[in-house]
Amino acid sequence: MSVDKDMFDLFRMELELCKVKPGERVGILSEDLIRRDYAMAFSAAAEDLGAHVLHVNIPKRPGSFFGPGNSLRGRPAAIEALKNTDLVIDLIGLLWSKEQDQITEGGPRMLLVLEPMSVLSRLRPSPESRTRVEAAHRLIAGSRELRVTSPGGTDVTYKIGKLRTVSQYGYTDEPGRWDAWAGSFVWTGGDEDGVDGTVVIDAGDLLLDPILRYVSEPIVLTIRKGYITEIAGGGAEGAIMRDFMAGFRDPKAYAVSHIGWGLDENARWTFLATSPDASQSLGVDGRCYYGNVLFSTGPNTELGGTNNTECHLDIPLKNCSLFLDGRQILRDGEILPAEMRVPGR
Ligand code: FE2
């Protein structure tokens, strides 16, 4: 299989941002023939930078899925092999899984790459976006209360400070650090009994994977002590959301999960509705969209919490305001602090 020149160049740039050096060990994890072109291009680019490449290709299990349902579960030989590398390129989706923790706890940094080429090329990471994301991270880490409001009626308050904060800027150059090539944003979690209020998922907001639909009428969530107690309205999308969550038969499915905001000026809100590549994307454009609020439900183990439910929904919200300890960070979807803003936006 020959390697596409544009893909090779793009992936080589990405590995340079990840500071891949001669003599380093780069592990590439794939399943079946899925993203085989990515595996081959990362292999060629890593070797071109002088790294030693290990390609771990495993059979995809029927019914396997992103995160806790991944195909690496119960395959200790593959896990051990990946532990003995310096950087793992995850082409299957290990996030929220104990297999990911087992690998990164041993020292390798890890980069998740799932999006189609058009998205990877457009959401090209840079040290400049890293600087802005790290400024956002510092602000969250120093705060104890996060509040989100919107013209549509959202008013929800998170007590924060007990769970980790995660920066995503699309590359990783520090031992044990995870990132995804999926735009720039920042997220943390509320204290497990410390989220109260109302979230209105407004018309035009997004329910991400596995639903991947724009909402046509407002869905109103009532939240008490960290749990959704009512999901009202929303027409078809409200019904889908209610059925999807009930299907897990798990009270923990209704917990509130991570919260944060997007900082990626190259993300496109309408991507899933307008791009021919939409069916290959997990909707990262909505997740990292500049000035969004990313609300989510379900597990919080990735942040150091105790909820390991397999029901997880990311729900990007547009035009919100966000406050940290009373200081306004977003105003109707506009990023206010100078250290986080893109010049001209
Ligand atoms: Fe999420």
Structure-model confidence comparison of residues 173 and 65, the more confident one: 173
SS3 243: helix
Instruction: Find the 296 Cα to ligand 1 centroid distance in Å.
Output: 6
The rounded Å distance from CA 313 to ligand 1 centre is 6
What tokens appear for 284 in the block?
Answer: 């990262």
Cβ-based burial of 162 (10 A; exposed 0-12, middle 13-18, buried ≥19): middle
Whole-number Å distance, alpha carbon 21 to ligand 1 midpoint, is 31
Q: How confident is the model at residue 240 (pLDDT cuts 50, 70, 90)?
A: very high
Distance between alpha carbon 305 and the CA centroid of its chain, in Å? 17
Domain spans of the chain, in order of start: 5-114, 123-340
CA of 237 from ligand 1 middle (Å) equals: 19
The DSSP 8-state label assigned to residue 115 in this structure reads S
What is the value of pTM for the model shown?
Answer: 0.94
Overall residue count recorded for the chain in this entry: 345
Cα of 208 vs centre of ligand 1, distance in Å, is 9
Residue whose entry in the numeric block shows the structure tokens 């891949």: 20
Instruction: Give per-residue pLDDT as tens, 95-119.
Output: 878 899 999 998 999 999 999 999 9
Domain range 5-114, CATH architecture:
3-Layer(aba) Sandwich (3.40)
Tokens 């349902």, located at residue: 69
pLDDT (tens digit per residue) in 144-169: 999 999 999 999 999 999 999 999 99
68 pLDDT higher than 90: no
Cα(51) to centroid of ligand 1, in Å? 32
Report the separation in Å between the CA atom of 250 and the middle of ligand 1, taken as the mean of its atom positions.
18
Ligand 1 center to 92 CA (angstroms) = 16
Output the CA 314–ligand 1 centroid distance in Å: 5
β-sheet bridge partners, residue 195: 158
